[in-house]
Chains A and B, each alone.
Chain A
Amino acid sequence: MKNRPTADFQTARRQRELSVSRRQFLRGLGVCMALPIFENSVGPVLRAATSPVGPATTSTGAPLRMAYVYVPNGVHQEYWWPTGEGSAFELARTMQPLAGLKNQFQVIGGLDHKNAAPGNDGAGDHARANATFLTGARARKTDSVDIQVGVSVDQLAAEQVGHATRFASLELSCDSVRKSGSCDSGYSCAYQYNLSWRSAATPMSPEPNPRLVFERLFGAGAPGERQKNFEQRQATQKSLLDLVLDDTRSLQRQLGAKDRDKLDEYLTGVRTIEQRIQRAESFGKLPVPGAEAPSGIPESFGEHMDIMFDLLAMAFQTDSTRVATLLLANDGSNRSFSEIGIPEGHHYCSHHRNSPELVGKIGEIDLHYMKHFSRFLTKLDQTKDVDGNSVLHNSMIVYGSGNADGNRHTHDNLPVILAGAGGGTLTPGRFAKFDSQPMSNLFLSLNDRMGVKGLDRIGDSSGRLKGV
């Protein structure tokens, strides 16, 4: 990546080069997701790879993706950590579903989120675990006024590499229902239900409804009408944006500082959509996924997870975005797992106080989440990318929790899996043990790979995580 031309020039060039392959790529997808459809497009892409690459691109010219998947309430430690170290390691119980993919991921030990620990803030480990997970920052303890944490790693990446795809980033959640009443110990619910933060005070609300995710990505309506509907919508939105932009500015002059902040959020939204529309125009036709649009939120939680994972896979495969987050459930979630014979709530089981019965159940719940994650990785592994590698190979998927041990609310030695080879920049297939480093160091290292420039720190980072 030395002696690069200026970023803009380079981007434009990359886009030209990729446009051929992208169109072929997208046409191919119409057939069926699982078919090896990319052979024909390898030529131009590989040629492109000989020139310097743009952001979020592998050395072979394929898109490089980054995703964060959150599993709530930590994990049962004994069932989580592998034995051995480096490439000689044995998976423990919870990771058994990943056995077939053992060379495709690494287990990372020794990463901490000190900012999720109580410090001077007292109770509220769940809210903090959730809020700190991708920000590395300490959430200000407040139930409403002056919510503040930090910009999350995905948004830092999206800011710089987002222009390469139709969506700068994608925020998903399987939490469709919110509990009323207060959230965790004096923390606003915003901390607990959002992973991704655009600014220190503005969360990126995630979408829990599979149908709406699909329509956003691939257009609404019957398969033949989506392109037309989409174009119409873009045109209308563009005309509306001009109107409201003017409105927002005049209103901002009228309001006080706090209110101006609220309007700023609105204004940022306007700009984001403007950019997205511009990008969409430059990208041409909508991708056509080889799948039906899902109807709403399925009743079974397992199905809900699967369908969100599928949508994420489709978004990556169609190169609709390269940055995503998925909150499987908010930290502190007390979801009941009757579908696997565990009527007790997850949070309740996580405070097992070493009762063998509850430990057994928390183990089952951890395993349940992992099975669905494993299904997702398998899908990415079986999907061929433009460069002939698998999509998983060209991805960096972090699966983890901001709580380490849910029983004791610890935030050291967090459970972290890093799946995918990052387009060949990562060394999967090992258990990498570190000696107590901020989790944020991993974020910096992954963002480096995404081609994010000028980032000295994220949250409490103390440097790059070397050797992942």
Chain B
Amino acid sequence: MASYPIPFRRLSTVTCSFLTLGLLSGRAESPSASATFHREIEPLLQNYCYDCHGDGAKKGKVSFDTFASDKDVFANPSLWLTALKNVRAGLMPPPDDTDPAARPTAEEVKKLENWIKFDAFGIDPANPDPGRVTVRRLNRAEYRNTIRDLMGVDFASDVEFPPDDTGHGFDNLGEVLTVSPLLLEKYLQAAEEIVDKAVPRISRVPIKRVIAARDFKREERPVRVVDGAEKAAEPAAATDVPTEQRQAARLDLNVRRGGKSSYTFNITQAGTYKLSFEASVRSTFDFDTGRANAIVYVDGIEKQRQEVVWGGKTIRFDSEQTWSEGSHLLSFEVEPLNPEEPNPIAPQRPVEVALPTAPAVAAAEAVVVAGAAPAPANTAVPAPAGRRGAAGRGGAAPRPVSRSTDLRITSAELSGPMDPKQWVPPENYRRFFAEDAPSDPKALDAFADKVIRDFATKAFRRPVDDAKVTQLVAVARGVYTQPNKKFEDGIARAFMGVLASPRFLFRVEEPAAAEAKMAFAAVDEYALASRLSYFVWSSMPDEELFRLAERGELRKQLSQQFARMLKDSKSQAFVRNFPGQWLQARDIETVPINARAVLGQGNLRGNTSTPQDLNAALRRMMRSETEMFFEHVLREDRSLLEFIDSDYAFLNARLATHYGVTGVTGEEIRKVMLPPDSPRGGMLTQGTILAVTSNPTRTSPVKRGLFVLENFLGTPPPPPPPDIPALEESQKATDGRELTLREALAAHRENALCASCHARMDPLGFALENFNAMGNWRDLDAKQPIDPAGKLATGEPFANISELKKVLTHERHLDYYRCITEKMLIYALGRSLDYYDIHTVDQIVARLEQDGGKFSTLLDGVINSVPFQKQRNLRVGPGATADASEAPASAVAQVTVH
């Protein structure tokens, strides 16, 4: 928002916070445009605007009849942009003027709009300016995903790299993403670490099979419950038992109940194998007297027996087996030594968890994943219910005791056959080396050339020039010709150079060859592939996109490819990153909210937890709720209006309880139809948004109102003026009591300086006052009844949040379409919007209006838009209109600082 002359902005009713005006020189000061101005536009301005902005009046320091010359009319796009936004939003002429004659007709508005767009801005609808994207550095999320897809390893960029700076609320704008020396240092380190982890340095390893605990087949003993009755096991899924506990019940072998788990290996190559097995002892905090023998069998023969007690050590079994072709069985049995013995320490019965009757999973085929090491089982033991928060607190209430000792299989691996002739390339080897390295030195260099060229092409997301390949091959050869280095070591070094290169870290775009001479040129197919993939996947193009780009067929298949990309699970990145920033849903995991204070329970130093706390688990659920809701509208191609109002919500038992919705059970978050009178539905009433727009101890109607204006209506008020009177004293009512928030803000609005903006923010915020800072429903605030009724600045009244949603989806839906289209464009383009983008936005909004706001229409509009498809061509000589934003910064500065 660099570009409004300040005096004007102060009282301008709308600022276009995402529209920056690049170079504001005269655009279309043609004789005909001037004539149209005098003939068509001046009379309109005279009629509707001069009361405040002409004939000597200069409200907000704006007047429409003091242009020095015709040229001057066209020299100020920011003035016209603001005028356009205000008229469209219904804020100008002021809506409180009830005389219908004082308001322009729809045709007159259209006439003004068109003149501003096509004359004042000089937009050529046949060949609009696609704008200029500053070369974009990969942000942290994009880096991580790109490394995952390119290298097959996960790199925790959110821990290792400093946070990215943001602009307009998004962290993927080229202009804002800087490279500090610290970051570059980290890029170099990351390149080394990632290559070390991802690129195998040996070409052959024995086949390794890793078997997960859940793949073992369970032979159940009768479940013995302490009271002696045979307990009929029931499926745990329907209850609210947390997943972790359910999983434990499935995987754990208890020392009192015993049990046996087996896995069958199908051996196709006879030979020597290394078999290893590990099970960990998982004991409760409290002492348990239970004991058992842990026995390992191979093909039914006992190989190892070990006694297990509470708090005991990990069981480990390593062996070498000479196996013939066919089935071989590995079994692990826990044989109780004192199954019935009452626990002398505490008579309480152990916590019993319902066990599934039969093993759900049939013995699965071993997956060949040599080198992979998934260790999902080895997570921390979940603290038994009741322990957390109670332990060590001065022995108030007797804490519930649970005692048990369980064994859980943590890993089982089979390597072999051990004869090197039967070895295979290690995991990830074929990702980089399509075939085995030849032994002839000449052929080896040629092979290095191929390996490096393939990799660099993928990493740079476009063909790489020969000189670069030659240079990288030289680096590789410099290493692999050393006596104790392998070919792979040399390749790895060259790969590090690729990952540290600016061509990897930045997204370099080129115009399509056929349009290389045009000022506004289509981006080439490689650039298009990257634009698509970073938009939907926050990652690099996949092989199919690449192949199409190579053949020059991507543009032709844009819709099919886009549909395919959305179906790919990588599109979760879009589901996470777009609403995460548009609606700040990311922040729910960290926003400080103090439940006790919010609920008026006071605050005890050092103990701020309360059962209703907005704890980490609930925060994650809220974020999932928002993302799943977004995803539903996306995948089912519903109307974007459902982000404001819907008759369904995504809930589980915990969220439903939090929101006061009845009849929802289970922990799985899913689509739930809401009762007709429910205030929930849509995004605005989700805990995520209600919390991130609150202060730690209370709601903020101003913040919430501003949030709705900025993110749903696209009409944020200008920032407060610099000479705003300070609110020095907390205000008291005449009777000396503290004013309610509503009263205080009402007093605030009596000040004309504050009124114009607060009259727009506050009613929206008050409509949400029935929701506290955590998103719970409430009827009272500080013992006063809440009054959610209000009126939009454009005059539409509403009685409560449900009515407000109707107003937004009916009367103000065009504002909303424009707003979400602008946000989506910023996210997709990676740049702020400029005045010439208005035409693109309008075209998409018109299509949305036609089909009721289908999500696919928005996405289709974005990827087919001129700014997404084209770029300003820098190769077309200096002075070309196309290269306007390359003008010296001072040209902009002159406009900014009036």
Cβ-closest chain A residue relative to B609: A338
Q: Scan residues 176-208 of chain A and give those whose CB is less than 8 A from a CB of chain B.
A: 176-183, 185-186, 188-190, 193-194, 198, 201-208
Chain B contact residues, majority secondary structure: loop
Any B CB within 8 A of the CB of A237: yes
Contact of A122 among B496, B710, B722, B730 (CB under 8 A): B722
Contacts A207-B162, A354-B728 hold; do A345 and B584 have CB atoms under 8 A apart? no
Any A CB within 8 A of the CB of B501: yes
Q: Scan residues 132-184 of chain B and give those whose CB is less than 8 A from a CB of chain A.
A: 132, 134-135, 137, 159-160, 162-163, 165-169, 171, 173-176, 178-184
Q: Scan residues 193-234 of chain A and give those whose CB is less than 8 A from a CB of chain B.
A: 193-194, 198, 201-209, 212, 216, 233
Q: Which residues of A contact B167 (CB under 8 A)?
A: 143-145, 188-190
> Is the pair B178, A243 in contact by a Cβ cutoff of 8 Å?
no
Contacts A243-B500, A408-B726 hold; do A203 and B178 have CB atoms under 8 A apart? yes
Contacts A120-B897, A408-B728 hold; do A344 and B188 have CB atoms under 8 A apart? no
- Minimum CB–CB distance from A281 to chain B (whole Å) comes to 16
Q: Scan residues 16-37 of chain B and give those whose CB is less than 8 A from a CB of chain A.
A: 17-18, 20, 22
Any A CB within 8 A of the CB of B586: yes
> Is the pair A198, B727 in contact by a Cβ cutoff of 8 Å?
no
> Is the pair B183, A205 in contact by a Cβ cutoff of 8 Å?
yes
Interface centre among A244, A296, A407, by most chain B C-beta atoms within 10 angstroms, is: A244
Q: Which residues of B contact A206 (CB under 8 A)?
A: 162, 182
Chain A contact residues, majority secondary structure: loop
- Minimum CB–CB distance from A180 to chain B (whole Å) comes to 4
Contact of B135 among A262, A336, A348 (CB under 8 A): A262
Any A CB within 8 A of the CB of B721: yes
> Is the pair A296, B159 in contact by a Cβ cutoff of 8 Å?
yes
Cβ-closest chain A residue relative to B586: A180
Identify the stretch in A25-33, A266-274, A308-316, A411-419 within 8 Å (CB) of chain B at 4 or more residues.
A266-274
- Minimum CB–CB distance from A127 to chain B (whole Å) comes to 11
Please tell me the number of chain A residues within 8 Å of chain B, measured between CB atoms. 91
Any B CB within 8 A of the CB of A247: yes
When each residue 586-603 of chain B gets 1 if its CB lies under 8 Å from chain A and 0 otherwise, what string results? 110010111011000001
When each residue 284-328 of chain A gets 1 if its CB lies under 8 Å from chain B and 0 otherwise, what string results? 000000000000100000000000000000000000000000000
Identify the stretch in B228-236, B266-274, B356-364, B882-890 within 8 Å (CB) of chain A at 4 or more residues.
B882-890
How far is B137's CA from A248's CA once the two chains are assembled, in angstroms?
Answer: 13
Please tell me the number of chain B residues within 8 Å of chain A, measured between CB atoms. 99
> Is the pair B2, A146 in contact by a Cβ cutoff of 8 Å?
yes
Contacts A144-B173, A204-B182, A243-B497 hold; do A177 and B719 have CB atoms under 8 A apart? no
> Is the pair B176, A147 in contact by a Cβ cutoff of 8 Å?
yes
Q: Which residues of A contact B596 (CB under 8 A)?
A: 343
> Is the pair A202, B166 in contact by a Cβ cutoff of 8 Å?
no
Q: Which residues of B contact A237 (CB under 8 A)?
A: 185, 188-189, 192
Any B CB within 8 A of the CB of A90: no
Q: Which residues of B contact A334 (CB under 8 A)?
A: 592, 695-696
> Is the pair A262, B179 in contact by a Cβ cutoff of 8 Å?
yes
Any A CB within 8 A of the CB of B529: no
Cβ-closest chain B residue relative to A170: B182
> Is the pair A239, B468 in contact by a Cβ cutoff of 8 Å?
no
- Minimum CB–CB distance from A251 to chain B (whole Å) comes to 5
When each residue 176-202 of chain B gets 1 if its CB lies under 8 Å from chain A and 0 otherwise, what string results? 101111111100110110000000000
> Is the pair A236, B581 in contact by a Cβ cutoff of 8 Å?
no
Contacts A180-B581, A205-B183, A269-B184 hold; do A118 and B722 have CB atoms under 8 A apart? yes
- Minimum CB–CB distance from A434 to chain B (whole Å) comes to 25
> Is the pair B169, A266 in contact by a Cβ cutoff of 8 Å?
no
Contact of B169 among A147, A181, A203, A352 (CB under 8 A): A181
Any A CB within 8 A of the CB of B874: yes
Q: Which residues of B contact A188 (CB under 8 A)?
A: 165-167, 176
Interface centre among B493, B581, B695, by most chain A C-beta atoms within 10 angstroms, is: B695
- Minimum CB–CB distance from B60 to chain A (whole Å) comes to 13
Identify the stretch in A79-87, A100-108, A129-137, A253-261 within 8 Å (CB) of chain B at 4 or more residues.
A253-261
> Is the pair B730, A233 in contact by a Cβ cutoff of 8 Å?
no
> Is the pair B179, A269 in contact by a Cβ cutoff of 8 Å?
yes
When each residue 548-592 of chain B gets 1 if its CB lies under 8 Å from chain A and 0 otherwise, what string results? 000000000000000000000000000000001100111100101
Identify the stretch in B81-89, B395-403, B502-510, B801-809 within 8 Å (CB) of chain A at 4 or more residues.
B502-510
> Is the pair A344, B697 in contact by a Cβ cutoff of 8 Å?
yes
How far is B726's CA from A118's CA once the two chains are assembled, in angstroms?
Answer: 14
Interface centre among A141, A147, A194, A206, by most chain B C-beta atoms within 10 angstroms, is: A141
- Minimum CB–CB distance from B154 to chain A (whole Å) comes to 17
> Is the pair A341, B605 in contact by a Cβ cutoff of 8 Å?
yes
> Is the pair B189, A233 in contact by a Cβ cutoff of 8 Å?
yes
Any B CB within 8 A of the CB of A265: yes
Contact of A336 among B501, B592, B886 (CB under 8 A): B592
Q: Which residues of B contact A148 (CB under 8 A)?
A: 889
Q: Scan residues 483-506 of chain B and give those whose CB is less than 8 A from a CB of chain A.
A: 493, 496-497, 500-503, 505-506
> Is the pair B719, A185 in contact by a Cβ cutoff of 8 Å?
yes
> Is the pair B10, A122 in contact by a Cβ cutoff of 8 Å?
yes
How far is B875's CA from A255's CA once the two chains are assembled, in angstroms?
Answer: 9
Cβ-closest chain A residue relative to B873: A256
Q: Scan residues 136-190 of chain A and give those whose CB is less than 8 A from a CB of chain B.
A: 140-148, 171, 176-183, 185-186, 188-190
Any B CB within 8 A of the CB of A124: yes
Q: Which residues of B contact A279 (CB under 8 A)?
A: none
Cβ-closest chain A residue relative to B898: A120
Any B CB within 8 A of the CB of A456: no
Contacts A142-B1, A180-B581, A343-B608 hold; do A265 and B178 have CB atoms under 8 A apart? yes
Q: Scan residues 416-443 of chain B and give those whose CB is less than 8 A from a CB of chain A.
A: none
Contacts A120-B6, A239-B475 hold; do A198 and B20 have CB atoms under 8 A apart? no
> Is the pair A233, B192 in contact by a Cβ cutoff of 8 Å?
yes
When each residue 864-889 of chain B gets 1 if its CB lies under 8 Å from chain A and 0 otherwise, what string results? 00000000001000000001011001
Given contacts A207-B162, A212-B160, A354-B730, 20 further A-B contacts (CB under 8 A): A144-B167, A144-B832, A180-B585, A181-B587, A190-B178, A193-B165, A204-B182, A206-B162, A208-B163, A239-B475, A243-B501, A247-B502, A255-B874, A256-B132, A263-B135, A269-B183, A340-B605, A343-B596, A345-B696, A353-B730
11 contacts across the A-B interface (CB closer than 8 A): A120-B722, A120-B898, A143-B1, A146-B889, A204-B181, A236-B493, A237-B189, A239-B493, A256-B883, A272-B181, A273-B184
**8 nearest A-B residue pairs (beta carbon):** A144-B167, A343-B594, A269-B184, A336-B592, A118-B722, A123-B719, A341-B605, A272-B181
